[in-house]
Amino acid sequence: MIFALVIALASVVAGAVASVVGFGIGSLLTPLFAVRVGTQLAVAAVSIPHVFATALRYWRLRAHVDRRVLVSFGIMSAAGGLAGALLHSVAGNRALAVVFGVILIFVGVSELAGFARRMRFGGWVAWTAGALSGLFGGLVGNQGGIRSAALLGFDVDKDAFVATATAIGLVVDAARMPVYFATQAPALARIWPLVLISTAGTLVGTVVGVRALRRVPEHAFRRIVAAILLVLGMYMLLRG
């Protein structure tokens, strides 16, 4: 009962955070689920509230999607997500967590120090960044952090940033979730109450968070994203 309450509260927070900065559901909920069901099943389980909350967020922000970034970044994200899902059961998640953490810390520090604002992605760099973000999403369930780190290299405003990150997240979910269901459906069925609670919580948080996004000043948005990336990166290093 206590664990279910923690999941419910964390899900509301995760949905709200994701609506403001474009990521956070997998990053916050996967470690919590892993405490009870193990990392592999946690990644698959969290993909369910993730896709529902992301779909709702996309519907509310769809007018702001940057289609140029979506095409150049999203296609490779889907391919990377599928590859990551297929490798999910054999991956060494601790080593991946360390690499993931280092990348996020580097991006967070670079943005806070002002270096990242001079970087602009395009061409093969955008495709590579997209593939890596999807790959990590399929492997460790934390696609949003590295995706947002990469999206900081594109010249988009806060609404386009969150909306485009959301659209790409949906593309990645569509690629990876069939693999999870094909390989872990019986295990997912056994924990359906937790999945249902987390889905409801992320939907509530999404509604609250989309409203909060309108109040975030444009000049502060990138620093907020960078700070969250930095915290997430340090957590991933400790986890690894």
- Round the average pLDDT of the chain to a whole number and report it: 80
Mean pLDDT to the nearest integer, 171-197? 89
- pLDDT at position 191, please? 94
pTM of the model: 0.78
Q: What's residue 48's pLDDT?
A: 95
- pLDDT per residue as tens digits for the range 32-73: 888 888 877 888 899 999 999 999 999 999 999 988 888 877
3-state DSSP assignment of residue 78: helix
Whether 236 has a pLDDT exceeding 60, the answer reads: yes
Tokens read off for 17: 């955070």
Res. 111 pLDDT band, cuts 50 70 90 = low
Average of per-residue pLDDT across 99-115: 69
What band does 119 get if pLDDT is binned at 50, 70 and 90? low
pLDDT, tens digit (0-9, with 9 covering 90-100), for 69-90: 888 777 787 777 777 777 765 6
More confident residue, 164 or 229: 164
Confidence of residue 198 (pLDDT cuts 50, 70, 90): very high
- What is the predicted pLDDT for the residue at 142? 63
- What's the whole-number mean pLDDT along residues 153-173? 85
Reference 121, options 75, 172, 68, 63; nearest CA is 68
Mean pLDDT, to the nearest integer, of 203-230?
82
- What's residue 7's pLDDT? 93
pLDDT at 176: 79
Q: Which of 31-35, 129-133, 171-175, 200-204 has the lowest mean pLDDT?
A: 129-133
Sign of the dihedral through C-alpha 107, 109, 111, 116: negative
Domain boundaries, the chain: 2-239
Quick: pLDDT tens for 2-26: 889 999 999 998 899 888 888 888 8
Quick one: 209 exposed, middle or buried, by C-beta within 10 A (0-12, 13-18, 19+)? buried
Helix axes of 192-213 and 158-190: crossing angle, nearest 10 degrees:
170
- pLDDT at position 178: 87
Residue 138: predicted pLDDT:
65
